[in-house]
Amino acid sequence: MKRRRSVLDLLCVIALLAGASGTARAAGQCGVCHPESRVAFAASIHAREQVTCTSCHGGDADTQNVERAHSGSFRGLRNRLATPEMCATCHSDLQMMSAYNLPVDQYAVYQTSQHGMAVAGGDSSAAVCIDCHGSHVIYAAADPRSSVASRNIPTTCGVCHSDEELMERYGLDPGVVEDYETGIHGRSLLIAGNLAAPNCTSCHGVHGATPPGVGDIDKVCGACHVQTRRAFLDGPHYQGMTEAGLPECATCHSNHAIQGLEVASIDTLCADCHGENSDEVLLGSKMHTLIEAATVEVEKAEALVLEGERAALDVEDHLGRIEEARTYLTEALPLAHSVSLEPVEQVTRRSRSIGEEVQHEIYAKLDRTEAHIGLVVFWFYVFMTLVILFLLKRRMSAGGEIA
């Protein structure tokens, strides 16, 4: 009995010691003087992965003596320009990063970017790691709280790129973020919350942030708009624009304030370069007409199918065909980038003929002529019955008082 108790006491003491030393190591003594940094850091992903104050700052975390804490390997990190190299000590270490499945070439890529090159040139205004990722509070990029989460990227880039004074120094347009936000990509990402929509880094690169040059724009846009790019490369515009030094896609669609162009704008768009009454404008309006006419037929067919559904027709097959017609219509606009009539005509003819076919079939099924003829015949019999009944009544009232 006595022995058991002493064993229990020993266990308690060990547990207490282990607990005390554990908390001391995790928090260190740095937070005693730097409480704000400690609180901010505690929320970050680094704190969860056993990165401590000394991992970046060096020094001795186990003492409250100011002198001793800030001695030895201590780094103040007051020099912004030194941070990329410092972060790279871990983030370029393949062994450390492989467990997190993180790439280790960021530092190398960063050095090729406009930001990295400026930093290499000693420009302390250029963006370093902490400008985008934050310093003490760093979240994983997939974390919606992160400054580099997809929906937060435009704001993060905008910290510098919307700063008029700063951008003037580099001769850059401070309106790009605002333009992006009004564009179809920005609205899709920020308003509709479509995380598949591109943010700044989708086109400009992440760590190797560099604007795509003329001649490369089709590749950048084509990464997502595959069919459109294929048609564009097939057509005469690609070569013509490259030779004229025009920024390909951006020539018509602009670069940041990208708008989904209405089909109707094909007419006027062509005239911008080719002049009014040109053959090209005629071609544009032909395409417009083809797409418009097909759309009208498909929409009419769809409305009829819904009407058929309300009349209890079996429209499962028709709904599928409408979907097919819509797919052809979706193909029409990318194909229009080949600036030749034939491929556009092909797909619009298909969607249009499907639309017309479906309309004919539903019309035939919705036809109530038989029922209406039946109703007329029915009323004829009703009328005859009434006539007979009235005649009967008259005859009865004529000889009615027999009783």
Q: Which is nearer to other proteins, 22 or 374 (CB)?
A: 374
Q: 160 near 115, Cβ under 8 Å? A: no
Instruction: Identify the sign of the CA torsion 211, 216, 218, 219.
Output: negative
Smallest distance, other proteins to C-beta of residue 119, A: 54
Q: Which is nearer to other proteins, 182 or 385 (CB)?
A: 385
Smallest distance, other proteins to C-beta of residue 320, A: 17
**Residue 305 token pair:** 């199918």
Helix axes 316-336, 341-366, angle to 10 degrees: 160
Smallest distance, other proteins to C-beta of residue 382, A: 4
Q: Which is nearer to other proteins, 219 or 368 (CB)?
A: 368
Q: Select from 205, 125, 130, 208 the least CA-distant residue to 172.
A: 125
Q: Which is nearer to other proteins, 151 or 365 (CB)?
A: 365
Helix %, strand %, coil % for the chain, to 5? 70, 0, 30
- Residue the block writes with tokens 């209406």: 372
HSE toward the beta carbon, residue 145, CA cutoff 13 A: 8
Smallest distance, other proteins to C-beta of residue 321, A: 19
Smallest distance, other proteins to C-beta of residue 310, A: 4
Residues of this chain that bind other proteins (CB under 8 A): 309-314, 368, 371-372, 374-375, 378-379, 382, 385-386, 389-390, 392-393, 396-397, 399-403
Residue 50 backbone zone (phi > 0: left; psi -120 to 50: alpha; other: beta) = left
Q: Which is nearer to other proteins, 243 or 314 (CB)?
A: 314
Distance CA 336, CA 232 (A): 8
Smallest distance, other proteins to C-beta of residue 313, A: 7
Q: Which is nearer to other proteins, 66 or 371 (CB)?
A: 371
